[in-house]
A and B are shown apart, each in its own frame.
Chain A
Amino acid sequence: MSPRLTRRQRRRVSRGAQYAVLAAAVALVAVLADWGRLAQQFAQPDLAGELFPDIITTALRNTVLYTVSGFAFGLVLGLVVALMRLSSIAPYRWAATVYIEFFRGLPALLIFIFVGVAVPLAFPGTEIPGGTYGKVALGLGLVAAAYIAETVRAGIQAVPRGQMEAARSLGFSYPRAMVSVIFPQAFRIVIPPLTNELVLLFKDSSLVLFLGVTLDERELTKFGRDLAGQSANSTPILVAGLCYLLVTVPLSLLVRRLEARTAVERPWR
């Protein structure tokens, strides 16, 4: 670049170049792709219409149910594991660390297969309560708990030490100080990352595919794949994808707003 250009001119040239690269990439894809075949395979309006209302009343509903039950179980378990991680009793800390590293280090799919196959083998005659919903809650929850535990632990540790000291000085016992003073502050800190975890779980619920489910228990991915197979056309996959985005995008936007609000409320951080 010529040394005679001012800084502002150089910046303008650089930005122009970046726009040019972007436009070229878009144009390349637009020209090379076979739009007609794509539309035929993925965007058949009448096929899409046939998906309703089942894709909402069954598939999306089940996806939401699986996610919520998995998250609820994961939240309770994650809270317990987080408190164990922070415990003054060393074996609790070790157990929590092993749990977290174990379940964060394995693919969620493996856990699902384990829950679906190994648990019935290990405990013959016993059924996981809730049928498929129970299995999904267990599979998703076990994985989610590991991540939630780390998030909650970080949230609790982000509360300044002086808060616990002030509470103890006022005569609060340790557990009461935790519940009355530390948790409410940690809760605000962890809401955005926990909502993120919810989005991840929402997508991971697609792994139910590998548990073997009845028609009424199908969630979005299984539903979309099954119908795509029946009609030999991929339109149901596209619609299922849009249904995911219908939930995940608003949730992500919510996280961003929550994070912005937290930043305003706690300007000292």
Chain B
Amino acid sequence: MEIEIRGLHKSFGDTPVLRGIDLEVARGETVCVIGPSGSGKSTLLRCVNLLEEPTEGRIVVGGAEVTDPEVDIDAVRRRIGMVFQQFNLFPQLTVAGNLTLPQRRVLRRSKARAAEVARENLARVGLLEKADAYPAQLSGGQQQRVAIARALSMGPEVMLFDEPTSSLDPELVGDVLSVMRRLAADGMTMMVVTHEMSFAREVADRVVFLDDGVIVEEGPAAQVVGAPRHERTRNFLDRVLNPAAPRSPGAVSDEPGAGGGPGSGGGPDSGGGLDSGGGPQGVSDSGRG
């Protein structure tokens, strides 16, 4: 098991965000985490490489217990690549510099070796010709692909993606997703927090639906996205896939627990809405909502 999460709780002050998460990701598996905003998906991902310190629970990545107080967290993080919604490239460095600096400083690779690895990974994301550009000169989609190449240059065993396409213009999403798709096909272990339902359906081995700090439903993508069993999952997917559709007040509420509330019975067309959004193109478009 590459990632193993047991009994994970996380609170910010008195506000519980994660309330008992158990999740496993096998080697080479791609797991997509979906759920409404505020459901704790990003917090869950950030706990895996300890950007957030769990309040309670155990997380093991590649045999090393991340939550062990004695662990060398820098050593563990070297094996976990992370891609952020806001790219977080180093603006004062060129694209090549962004890829070589961490290799040189953290892995102590030689200049030549770091440059060679950087070239390989830039080629992998199709941006070899941008090696000398600065991040500000690139489009959002190109910046995100550089960020992926930067993470890959460290030779990680696991990649975490925190809403990698959420701050991109719609026409730039495709390039980033196709890089991720290829990565998954190459056998990388991936945990992806995303709103891209077409990506989840097509690439994920498993989809996890998180709501109000607990896993409501998990299973094969075709099942969770295609034929969700739980009312809360159905309501969420309905809202994501048909953002413009009229619905009863209960169903549009942003309250995480709304699915169980009195309005939960008020979505008679939710199943139909899902079916009509079945084509990959339609799903992709509305998924941007």
Contact = CB atoms under 8 A, between A and B. Distances in A.
A169 B77 contact: yes
Interface stretch (B78-86, B248-256, B278-286): B78-86
14 contacts: A163-B88, A163-B90, A166-B89, A168-B74, A169-B51, A171-B74, A171-B78, A171-B102, A171-B107, A172-B102, A176-B106, A184-B92, A185-B92, A188-B92
Classify the secondary structure of A's interface with B.
helix
A99 B82 CA distance: 40
A170 interface: yes
B75 interface: yes
Given A171-B75, A171-B154, A165 B84 contact: yes
B24 to A, nearest CB: 22
Interface residues of B, number: 26
Contact of B102 (A170, A265, A267): A170
B33 interface: no
Contacts of A40: none
Contact of A171 (B51, B77, B88): B77
A266 B92 CA distance: 10
Contacts, number: 61
A172 B84 contact: no
Nearest to A265: B136
A171 B90 contact: no
A170 B84 contact: no
Nearest to A159: B91
Contact of A172 (B80, B89, B106, B136): B106
B101 interface: yes
B151 interface: yes
B88 A162 contact: yes
Contact of A170 (B86, B91, B92, B151): B151
B86 A162 contact: yes
Nearest to A173: B74
Contacts of A181: 90, 101
A176 to B, nearest CB: 6
A180 to B, nearest CB: 5
A102 to B, nearest CB: 34
B150 interface: yes
Interface string A148-169: 0000000000001011011111
A172 B154 CA distance: 11
Interface string A167-200: 1111111001000110011001000000000000
Given A162-B84, A165-B51, A172 B90 contact: no
Contacts of B105: 172, 176, 180
Contacts of B136: 265, 267
Q: Which 8 interchain pairs have the tightest Cβ spacing?
A: A171-B78, A166-B88, A162-B88, A169-B82, A170-B102, A171-B106, A171-B77, A171-B74
Contacts of A184: 92
Contacts of B91: 185, 266
Given A166-B84, A185-B91, A188-B92, A172 B49 contact: no
A36 B49 CA distance: 78
Contacts of B49: 169
Interface string B95-118: 000000110011100000000000
A96 B250 CA distance: 53
Nearest to B147: A166
Contacts of A169: 49, 51, 77, 80-82, 151
Of residues B74, B80, B147, B150, which shows the largest number of chain A Cβ atoms within 10 Å of its Cβ?
B74
A155 to B, nearest CB: 13
Contacts of B77: 168-171
Contacts of A176: 105-106
Central interface residue in A160, A168, A265, by most chain B CB within 10 Å: A168
